[in-house]
Amino acid sequence: MKFERLEIPDLVLCTPNVFGDERGYFFESFKQQEFERFLGFHVPFCQDNESKSTKGVLRGLHFQLPPFAQSKLVRVIKGSVLDVSVDLRKGSPYFGKHVAVELNEENKNQLFIPRGFAHGFLVLSEEAIFAYKVDNFYSKENDRGLLFNDEKIGINWGIAEDQILLSEKDKVQPILELADCFNFKEDLYA
């Protein structure tokens, strides 16, 4: 597995070593020891989730507040998505900035999103199966979101807004200026 820090250095792109032949392919999608050696800290993953969505579906931008903040390790099993993470840690030099990467079944890349970030993805292919690990359980009381088209964040989703399919919940999320955020100095893994 190859690990690469992105423009916001706490976001890590994980590229597996894929071994293929005429029978198909094999790769290790997760190896705790290698992953944590690169990060330098323990991530207590406790649950795996999977969703299936059609083209134009945008899920996000979602996060949970402490004590239920979540890290995620996300990947695409089938199809292709534009995956976006937004730094919500007040005091961070990257606060309000975002990183977008394409994850798909061909590149088999994964993205590690630590606690303190909002996360979402837009389906680019006819359908996508999206899988991810989380290190904390869902908490309705701590569940929050961020408006996908906040002009101050400036995410280019690559398609017209009238082609984006959103849940009712995601249509009414707050802009960054009004959103609940994290404190950069807070130990989100305590």
Q: What share of the chain is helix, strand, coil (3-state, %, to 5)?
A: 10, 40, 45
Predicted confidence (pLDDT) at residue 186 exceeds the cutoff of 90: no
User: SS in 3 state form for 55-118?
Assistant: CCEEEEEEEECCCCCCCEEEEEEECEEEEEEEECEECCCCCCCEEEEEEECCCCCEEEECCCEE
Instruction: Exactly one of 94, 98, 119, 132 is catalytic; name it.
Output: 132
Tokens of 62: 């979602």
- Mapped onto helix, strand or coil, the DSSP state of residue 25 is strand
Mean pLDDT in residue range 16-35 = 94
Which domains are assigned to the chain? 2-181 (2.60.120.10)
Predicted confidence (pLDDT) at residue 190 exceeds the cutoff of 80: no
Predicted confidence (pLDDT) at residue 187 exceeds the cutoff of 90: no
DSSP-derived secondary structure letter, 165: B
Tokens of 133: 């690990």
Q: Is 62 a catalytic residue?
A: yes
* 31-64 confidence digits (pLDDT tens): 999 999 999 999 999 999 999 999 999 999 999 9
Instruction: Exactly one of 25, 62, 94, 119 is catalytic; name it.
Output: 62
Q: How far apart are CA 135 and CA 101, in angstroms?
A: 22
Q: Is 132 a catalytic residue?
A: yes
